[in-house]
Structure 1
Amino acid sequence: MRRTGTTRRGALTATGAAALAAVLAGCGDGAGGEAGSGRSGAAATAARAAAVRAEKRIRTAAARTSLELLGRYERVAAAHPSAAAALAPLREAVRAHTEALAPSGGRAAGAAPSPAPPDDARAAVKELAAAERRASDTHLAALVDAPPELARLLASVAAADAAHAFLLTGIAKEVSS
């Protein structure tokens, strides 16, 4: 018998594709109209410097968010070895996000220490899923002020965080307490 209807995977893929398309459609390259605007060279240089500082500030905050999330993964994996294998691929993805978001390809600045995970493995993974949702929301909020290229990266990381949260809810059901 053939399966009909919408699957969770199909719904998640469609939602992610629609969100990414909306973000990409709203992000222009910002090049319109500057040539004939009459800006002086000093004003244009100052504007570029301000844009670079703003991008670095956004990248630093986003990298810190991902670094805090990575710290949570590390603590949960250390406290609950039964969940460590299932968390490993997601933890490595968060590590890659942290490195991609770090300003100038450097290391992310130190993050606040994450709280100790609950003694129950299921509860710890559920808390990790909630942290992924919060990280996704934080990355989405940063899109407003981000330049186009960084906005695309933030949208991608936010979508991955949302997918991780979804996967973690399934993992929470499977891990032993």
Structure 2
Amino acid sequence: MRRTGTTRRGALTATGAIAMGAVLAGCGDGADESGGRKGSAPADARTASDSASAVRAETSLRKKAAGVSASLLGQYENVLAAHPATSAGLTPLRDAVRAHVQALAPGGGASLEFVRTRPAGSPPEAVKALAAGERRASAAHTAALLDAPPELARLLASVAAAASAHSYLLTELAKETKA
């Protein structure tokens, strides 16, 4: 009668294969990006200019993403001003969007300037328009992930996911909102 399942021999073989893979993945040819010259002045200058351009690119991405969220925050403010009856459902979402603007803004703070306009239509239509705005914001933040450095990409992914969740909640709220 043969035993089925994992044996000690199989487990040791698998562990050895994983360890060998890790060792081989860590091995390199020893050459670095500066053409084999460690600590050379041209390589250091190139690294400094690359770093400065990366900071400028991240700042630009942050400004753009914060602008998208600030525009959405303006929509929330407009709907809340025009339809105060929706405040119970919209206030927590608006506060989350305000936190997103502050987190995305370069330097951790942003001026919250937006245009106050009267949203068209009844409260359910205004809430549906907010849901559409959240979907656009989610798409914009998701598209920005391609060019973002890792830390900003994680933040953008989180904000995009929150915008998608807000969109769902707003769609459901629009169904429950009375005209």
Tell me the TM-score normalised to structure 1 length: 0.76
Q: How many residues align?
A: 144
CA positional deviation for 1:116: 2.8
Contact 1:64 1:108 in 2 (8 A): no
Q: Which has the higher contact order (CA 8 A, sep 6+)?
A: 1
- Matched residue, 1:62: 65
Partner of 2:153: 151
Q: In structure 2, how many angstroms separate the alpha carbons of the residues matched to 1:149 and 1:55?
A: 10
Q: One-letter code of the match for 1:40?
A: A
Deviations 1:111-164 (A, max 9, x none): 5x3653123000000000000000000000000000000000000000000000
Per-residue CA distance 1:39-58 (angstroms, 9 max, x = gap): 61110000000000000000
Cα offsets for 1:95-125 (capped at 9, x unmatched): 00000000011215745x3653123000000
Q: CA deviation at 1:173?
A: 1.1
Asked if 1:36 corresponds to 2:32, the answer is: yes
The 1:115/1:78 distance shift into structure 2, 3 A limit, reads closer
TM (normalized to structure 2)? 0.76
Match of residue 161 from structure 1: 163
Q: 1:61 to 1:108 in 2, by over 3 A?
A: farther
Is contact 1:129-1:166 (8 Å) kept? yes
Report the Cα offset of residue 82 of structure 1: 1.0
Paired letter, 1:76: V
Q: For 1:37, what is the secondary structure of its paired residue?
A: coil
Report the aligned-residue RMSD: 1.9
Are 2:98 and 1:95 equivalent residues in the alignment?
Answer: yes
- For the residue of structure 1 that corresponds to 2:118, the secondary structure is coil
Amino acid in the other structure paired with 1:132: E
In structure 1, the partner of 2:15 is none
Q: Which has the larger radius of gyration?
A: 2
Q: In the alignment, which of 44, 50, 53 is matched to residue 50 of structure 1?
A: 53
Change (3 A) 1:109 1:145: farther
Which of residues 78, 83, 86 in structure 1 aligns to 2:86? Answer: 83
Q: Distance in 2 between matches of 1:108 and 1:36?
A: 43
Alignment correspondent of 1:23: none
